[in-house]
A and B are shown apart, each in its own frame.
Chain A
Amino acid sequence: MGYRISVDTGGTFTDMVLVDEEGNFNIGKALTTPERISEGMFSALEVVAEAAGKTARDLLAETDILIYGTTRATNAVVTKATARTAFLTTTGFRDILVLKEGGKHGPHDYSYDYPQPYIPRRHTFEIDERIGSAGEVVRELDEAKARQVIETLKERKFEAVSVSLLWCIANNAHELRLGELIEEIMPGVPYTLSHQLAPILREYRRASATSIDASLKPLMQAHLRGMQSDLLEAGFSGDLLVSTSVGGCQEVETLVERPINTLKSGPAMAPVAGRAYSAVENMGGDVIVCDTGGTTFDVGLVRDGQLVYSRDSWLGPQWLGDIIGASTVDVRSIGAGGGSIAWQDPGGLLRVGPQSAGSVPGPACYGNGGNEPTVTDAALVLGYIDPDYFNGGRLSLDRAAAERVIGDFGKVIGKSPDETAHAIMVIANELMIKAIGEITVNDGLNPRESVIVAGGGAAGFNIMPIARELGCDTVILPKTASALSACGMQYSSIVFEATRSRFTASNEFDIEGVNNALAEIESELLEFKDSLATAAGAATTIEFFVEARYKAQVWELDTALPKQRLDGPADVEAITESFHQTHERVHAVRDEGSPVECVNWKGRISIQPFSPPPAPDATTISQNPAPDETRSCFFGGTERVSTPVFRGDNLATGDEVQGPAIIQEATTTIVVYPDMSARLSAAGDYILDCS
């Protein structure tokens, strides 16, 4: 077996992880080159190749699998650089994308406009037809008029077509016919039919998913195929896989048909990494995964060893942006990070964020003209950061600037510089505690029974007190924390989902209809597997789920099916009981008397073409290393404390560090608070004891 490479192209940095035959991880980072992504990728490749003592070309030639994660699609949507796309829908409903599903933040906030629809109204065309809720044809498709519409699209040079008709999920005949007409009249123009992409109830979600997908097709086809040929030219002859929003990866040919699945694929990989690290360290299946960057703090979950998914994922802010509609790994993001700015409100309280100094000008200590106190400045004043060893010494920090802005702000709030910096950290922690609290209670996960996996460059400043506040005893902070998503790709499977909408209720359950839906889903999944060259002989699992609710509820919960087909009433009861348990876990009540309504059925296939590196020997000998230096730090209270500082590369497996202490890694810093401790595991992860 040769090398395996994963690449995560972020907005600023391209992270690369190289895993060799023995399972050793090597990280390379380079600036992202938005014009031609492969350039940034090859720069990162040079970094890891140098460490491996090879040329980039040789390294690539010896690589079996390259997993590529991209924000190309997300950026295209955000910068409105997607294809000129037409939206076709049922007559009478041209405003589906305008009206969305409602919802607004701030009942008293009238400072912002209502958002424009994803596809302009003038690019929306009505198709004369109507299907009813039971799949009956209420009004036949008027083919002559439909032809006229598509001829118009051709004349006006639309580059992609999104088709989403009411109740196509109950009867897809009209959508299929429109697909044929598009192929006939506008051959070669990519289109998406909603019942094929996202056969889910609720017209806005389906239309939004379909429109986003169609609008990305021309661009992502060009991008992914371009990447493929660039790699080929560079000597790569292995399998190219692309990471997706369900925390898996896909072959290029699958994704060019469903480019929507590349959205948010970077953040989706952090929980995959979290799950793997927790498994390696034998820390159980309930994991909270935190990724702290410069401007945002992302949280995701793993429950019982399973990733947690959501259909409520938005591009842009909730309600103001566009819903993705397809299921994605549930990752919540808040505006809090190293760059968040501290300020005082008119009532005299200290606030942190959501304003951020970003990377330009950045925190005051970056010395680029930043003049406001940020979390990073506070960490520097508290002694947590070595100004000469930030980012492995590549960026030297201006301590005086940090002391000045923190000192000035301290005068405003009437505290000493140390107290001020500490207060900023406490408030920043609080924002993160709340974000973790919301996603965990939403999903019925108890932080006290979970482990936290922390990643991102700024995670180590405050993850220990955050964990303690949440009652969570253990944090795993991998040495590779700064490239969590790229690491996650190394543990990912090829994942594909198929969905059918089949409405039924527990008191009048349509076993045959549901089994038919499940059979359709299964054959779609197997057909998918058969189409993959990489999948032959690979370990495969298939799981089934139902999105269910109590009678008359509006919002469904995902419930796992105990088996692949239902044999009789006992299985229906098992589904019902499984739903009661889920509902009780999430909403604290169960309603035995209510029928359970089943709305959408979902199957997920996971194919593991490569096996994860073997877990290293877990036995270590505990020992107390000597610090490399000491530094004066402040952890609250009244006095600064002389604090031992350890260089990560001088620590050995099994070393234990008692707080207060600082551990300095090249791309991250871990603050071990008083009464807490850290240990370096055999697998090379820091295990932080926050109990």
Chain B
Amino acid sequence: MTDTDTKLDPVLISVMANRLDGIVREMTNTLLRSARSAVISSARDFSCCLVTGDDQLLAPAEGLPVHIFGCHIQTANMRKYHGDDIKRGDAYLDNDPYGGNTHPADHTFMVPVFFEGEHLFTAVSKCHMADIGNSIPSSYFVMAKDVYEEGALVFPGVRIQRDFENIEDIMRMCRARIRVPDQWYGDYLAGLGSARIAERRLEAFCEKYGKETVKAFFKEWFNYSERRMVDNIKRLPKASLVNKGRSDPLIGVLPDGLELTVKVDIDPDEAEIHIDLSDNPPSVDVGLNTSLGAATSAVVGAVFNALDKDLPRNEGAFRRLKFTYAEDSVVAAPTFPHSCSVATTNVSERLVNITQSAFAQLGDGMGLSEGGAGLGAGMAVISGNDASRGGEPYVNRLMLSTNGGPASPVADGWVNYAIPVIAGLMYRDSVEVDELKHPIRVESLGIVTDSSGAGRRRGAPAQQIEYGPTDAPMMAVISCDGQHTPPRGVVGGHDGTAGETWQIEDGVQSERLPNVIQLKLDPGQRVRGRDSSGGGYGDPLDRELERVTVDVLEGWETREKARDIYGVIFTGEIDDETLEPDVAATEARRAEIREARA
């Protein structure tokens, strides 16, 4: 981009930033409302953003934190692969985890936007597809030895439209390999439609303001965003934080899981945060490897969790974040042909938790506890044939029950959290909608009393679900990383509880199942899954009586846990609304617990 010395009026900068934000919101709304698969339309597993023509992230939507980083690498590759042969009316598809993308399930649609012959923007929508032609009926394949066993069709910056028309070769390839191809095509239309809407709006935007003003705006907006970041980092203490965590074991492959390390150096003098991801194990022969895009997004998202909530997230802000990566690592540096099939979840979830809780080392008031992790039975990918619809095949990811969110210094955990990389943004499926769309029946779904990580602020509780097929066998692919190492509490808060999976037959509960499993269920058989809960923040003995009272009244926590962990003694009964904390007895009980600790 040519440098320009035009100094824009700050009011104009606000107005232009607002217009671009409006465009991204319109993209997001279009995609959400018109997508076919539940993973996009309900679980919101997609993001829209605008990148400048020279590949700087300009405006992200309020999309999943795990999609924040990397689109600019994908647009750069698009330009590298196609050189001068990019023009108005083109669209490109990229899902290459070795080219900036998160993981192959995230099909990224890129539409270059031209004005007066110059490529000024690329509109990007990234959508997690329900199926991508993997060798198993799930877009998450934990056990994939390498990309070949994983089996995903990979499109490294491939042109899919010219002159606004589909390139049918590519459509045929997708239809030939992707399960339930009409569903994929519907999602393709939604993703592309969203980027095309942005194109229309951006052309009008450029028409209104003119090319030079738009370019001057880019510069000024990045500088503004950088100033916000500088201001925020300068208010943090200088510190070097090291935090570790562990992923769940994989039977026969990684018996101890993976030990993961994140180092965070906060330098308020230089107004920089340095994130070192290099101290992590080498690539592994399963689908857990995290791409550069996914791992960086995970930690960047977690850093933003610890900063002001309304900071712009773009190239300008990212200038103040520095990264160190290993040469070959499961974290951000996989080596080909290792599989990154589950790059956005399992290890990435742990990276979010490790990073956000590292900030709690700065002391009370900073950082977050760890949030509930893992795609359990309530978020499984289910597939089979629907006898009531003539044996028609189906495949979809459920979003019925979710993990509990982390506690912060000021708020209890968010109940509908899903997983750390989704952070509560998704919609839940309706039980009725899922039962209508697929031949399944849900027996029960609810929160688990006493499951929260206790604290001055408690984690959100776990949820538990039980469901199975109605009239034909069903496959449930569960790729959960949250059943062995529970989410940790911070600053004196207690750990959350880990998830579990069981099979139910004739009302009898089986032995606990492995955390990663492809479970085939016949009619009459059920899967029961419990998700994990969030860790607590701060000492549970400091939790206000009013909050504990509501917890007990509402059955989030029992009276026993209130007594044993929170040190709160009650009189009266819940049923007749006479329950009240006994202040004197509580003070005595809390003193007793404190004494026992000392």
Closest chain A residue to B408, Cβ basis: A110
Taken residue by residue from 64 to 108, chain A's Cβ proximity to chain B (1 for < 8 Å, 0 otherwise) reads as: 000000000000000000000000000111110011111111111
B509 at the interface (CB under 8 A from A): no
Closest chain A residue to B388, Cβ basis: A134
The bracket for how many chain B residues form the interface is 35 or more
Closest chain A residue to B555, Cβ basis: A121
Contact B416 A583, beta carbon cutoff 8 Å: no
B172 at the interface (CB under 8 A from A): no
B426 at the interface (CB under 8 A from A): yes
Contact A99 B186, beta carbon cutoff 8 Å: no
In chain A, positions 339-355 with a C-beta closer than 8 Å to chain B are 345-351
Closest chain B residue to A134, Cβ basis: B388
| Cα distance A554–B130 in the bound complex, in angstroms | 14
Closest chain B residue to A636, Cβ basis: B11
In chain A, positions 119-141 with a C-beta closer than 8 Å to chain B are 120-122, 132-133, 138
Contact B432 A133, beta carbon cutoff 8 Å: yes
Contacts of B192 on A, CB cut-off 8 Å?
589
Contact B460 A114, beta carbon cutoff 8 Å: yes
A421 to chain B, nearest CB (A): 12
A553 at the interface (CB under 8 A from B): yes
Contacts of A554 on B, CB cut-off 8 Å?
35, 38, 41-42, 433
**B62 partner, pick from A107, A167, A201, A552, beta carbons under 8 A:** A107
B26 at the interface (CB under 8 A from A): yes
Contact B447 A591, beta carbon cutoff 8 Å: no
A168 to chain B, nearest CB (A): 10
**B414 partner, pick from A108, A114, A156, A347, beta carbons under 8 A:** A114
Contacts of B554 on A, CB cut-off 8 Å?
116, 120-122
| Cα distance A589–B406 in the bound complex, in angstroms | 39
Contact A591 B186, beta carbon cutoff 8 Å: yes
| Cα distance A583–B33 in the bound complex, in angstroms | 10
User: In the complex where A102-B424, A114-B412, A345-B228 touch, is A203 in contact with B30 (Cβ < 8 A)?
Assistant: no
**B427 partner, pick from A103, A121, A166, A345, beta carbons under 8 A:** A103
A551 at the interface (CB under 8 A from B): yes
Closest chain A residue to B439, Cβ basis: A133
Taken residue by residue from 529 to 554, chain B's Cβ proximity to chain A (1 for < 8 Å, 0 otherwise) reads as: 00000000000000000000010011
Taken residue by residue from 407 to 420, chain B's Cβ proximity to chain A (1 for < 8 Å, 0 otherwise) reads as: 01011111110100
Contact A552 B186, beta carbon cutoff 8 Å: yes
| Cα distance A202–B11 in the bound complex, in angstroms | 44
User: In the complex where A120-B554, A438-B22, A552-B186 touch, is A109 in contact with B309 (Cβ < 8 A)?
Assistant: yes
A533 at the interface (CB under 8 A from B): no
| Cα distance A166–B408 in the bound complex, in angstroms | 35
Contacts of B34 on A, CB cut-off 8 Å?
550, 553, 583, 587, 589
Contact A552 B193, beta carbon cutoff 8 Å: no
Contact A113 B305, beta carbon cutoff 8 Å: no
**A107 partner, pick from B227, B424, B444, beta carbons under 8 A:** B424
| Cα distance A413–B411 in the bound complex, in angstroms | 34
**B446 partner, pick from A93, A110, A589, A593, beta carbons under 8 A:** A93
| Cα distance A423–B102 in the bound complex, in angstroms | 41
| Cα distance A207–B192 in the bound complex, in angstroms | 36
User: In the complex where A108-B305, A110-B368, A438-B22 touch, is A132 in contact with B231 (Cβ < 8 A)?
Assistant: no
In chain A, positions 314-348 with a C-beta closer than 8 Å to chain B are 345-348
B73 at the interface (CB under 8 A from A): no
**B10 partner, pick from A94, A413, A591, beta carbons under 8 A:** A413
B288 at the interface (CB under 8 A from A): no
Which 3 A-B pairs give the minimum distances between C-beta atoms? A92-B444, A110-B408, A104-B424
Given A346-B308, A347-B224, A427-B15, 11 additional A-B pairs, CB 8 A: A93-B444, A103-B426, A116-B550, A121-B555, A132-B470, A201-B432, A350-B14, A438-B26, A441-B29, A554-B41, A589-B190
Give me the interface of A with B, judged by CB distance under 8 Å: 91-95, 98-114, 116, 120-122, 132-133, 138, 156, 166-167, 201-204, 345-351, 413, 423, 426-427, 430-431, 434, 437-438, 441-442, 503, 550-555, 583, 586-589, 591, 593-594
Q: Could you name 8 residue pairs across A and B whose Cβ atoms are closer than 8 Å?
A: A101-B427, A104-B414, A114-B413, A202-B433, A346-B228, A348-B224, A589-B192, A591-B185
Give me the interface of B with A, judged by CB distance under 8 Å: 10-11, 13-15, 18-19, 21-22, 25-26, 29-30, 32-38, 41-42, 62-65, 182-183, 185-186, 189-190, 192-193, 196-197, 224-225, 227-228, 231-232, 301, 304-305, 307-310, 312, 368, 399, 402, 405-406, 408, 410-416, 418, 423-428, 430-433, 435-437, 441-447, 460, 463, 466, 470, 550, 553-555, 574-576
